[in-house]
A and B are shown apart, each in its own frame.
Chain A
Amino acid sequence: MNKLTIGLMAIILWSACKFNAGDKKTLPIYGNRHPITKTVDGKTITDTIYQTISKFKTVNQYGDSINNKSLDGDIYIADFFFTTCPSICPVMHRNMLNVYNVFKGKGDIKIISYSIDPKHDSVPVLKKYADKLGISGNTWWFLQGKKDEIYKLSESYLVQKPQEDAKQQFIHDGSFLLVDKQKRVRGAYDGTDTKQVDQLIADIKTLQNEPDQSIAQ
């Protein structure tokens, strides 16, 4: 009786281990989701609609128009910053530089930094900032949009909405958001923490190896 239980336990444990080993790491999908039923080839099937990043319209440091479509087919990392930020932005972008250096020039990875102070951060200001940071090419874009639109947009990235405090300085959290090719948020990292940024780099590689899912929205 006792021997049987132990034997059974051993088998269960073994099969659990085996099951886990076969399971490759996948990243969670963040945000709301809801099921829909649709008819394909006369059959009714259930699909899941995931929350995706809202549409946006901006210009980058080169003065090119950049919108959500510009990122079609790319995995990208987004953050919110402003060039005159005295607190956490320097450390965020010191860490983001590590991400940039790993993935620059690789076709399907992009980094986008939305300015939350578009009044000051004009195209030439963003260009100068990018130059000083040592950024060239089209891997990392610094984006100027309409302020209220950017603030609204931050909600679809699930970050704390930027706010202005009494000193007219902006407070924002230092999140880096990882977005997949279907424009779903797959990871959120503290951009001021080098360990979490290392995790981000590892997760981007995991995401690159994920088979493409067809339904791009």
Chain B
Amino acid sequence: MKLKAIGSISVLILILFVLSCQSEENLEFERYYSNGAVVYQAHCQNCHGANGEGLSALIPPLTDSVFLKNNKNALACYVKFGLKGQISIKGKTFDDAMPANDLSPMEVAQVLTFAGNSFGNKLNTIDIQQVEAGLGKCK
């Protein structure tokens, strides 16, 4: 009886622990995402559009989830230092240049979390540690 009580209490504590952990993670995501929306509006939206739709064959959309996923670690480099040359997005070829964006690593993490989880993408949180690691390996 006593043992059972202790058992159920510890299960309860465990559940609470997991729950709070998760909401902590959610909170972090929310923080990155909502700040990222502001960065996106100020630094990306003119080119990539309010719905990530891009502009004809001039500017690629941000809706190619496969491209974003496959290049997840390089995205910070593209955003911070710009991107040039031929790329294929959603089956269409783009061959223009994205200028470098003057953003802090934190802002890069925020905007990538926003874009990476909007427009049909699902990359989860791209945090500052991942961005700093990615920026260390830019070509």
Residues of A within 8 A of B (CB): 86-88, 90-91, 93-94, 97, 129, 131-134, 192
**Considering only CB atoms, which chain A residue lies closest to B95 in the complex?**
A132
Residues of B within 8 A of A (CB): 45-47, 49, 55-59, 96, 99
Q: Is the CB of A90 within 8 A of B55?
A: yes
Q: List 15 A-B contacts (CB under 8 A).
A: A87-B46, A90-B55, A90-B59, A91-B45, A91-B46, A91-B47, A94-B49, A94-B55, A129-B58, A131-B57, A132-B56, A133-B56, A133-B58, A134-B56, A134-B57
A93 to B99, CA, bound (A): 18
Inside 8 A of B58's CB, which chain A residues have their CB? 90, 129, 132-133
Could you say which of B45, B56, B99 contacts A86, with CB atoms under 8 Å apart? Answer: B99
A150 to B132, CA, bound (A): 45
Inside 8 A of A129's CB, which chain B residues have their CB? 58
Inside 8 A of A134's CB, which chain B residues have their CB? 56-57
A97 to B53, CA, bound (A): 14
A97 to B99, CA, bound (A): 23
Q: Is the CB of A133 within 8 A of B46?
A: no
Given A90-B47, A93-B55, A133-B57, 20 further pairs, Cβ under 8 A: A86-B99, A88-B46, A90-B46, A90-B55, A90-B58, A90-B59, A91-B45, A91-B46, A94-B55, A97-B56, A129-B58, A131-B57, A132-B56, A132-B57, A132-B58, A132-B96, A133-B58, A134-B56, A134-B57, A192-B46
B111 vs chain A, min Cβ distance (A): 16
Inside 8 A of B55's CB, which chain A residues have their CB? 90, 93-94, 133
B47 vs chain A, min Cβ distance (A): 5
Of the listed residues B46, B96, B99, the one surrounded by the most CB atoms of chain A closer than 10 A to its CB is B46
B92 vs chain A, min Cβ distance (A): 11
A122 to B109, CA, bound (A): 38
Inside 8 A of B49's CB, which chain A residues have their CB? 94
Inside 8 A of A97's CB, which chain B residues have their CB? 56
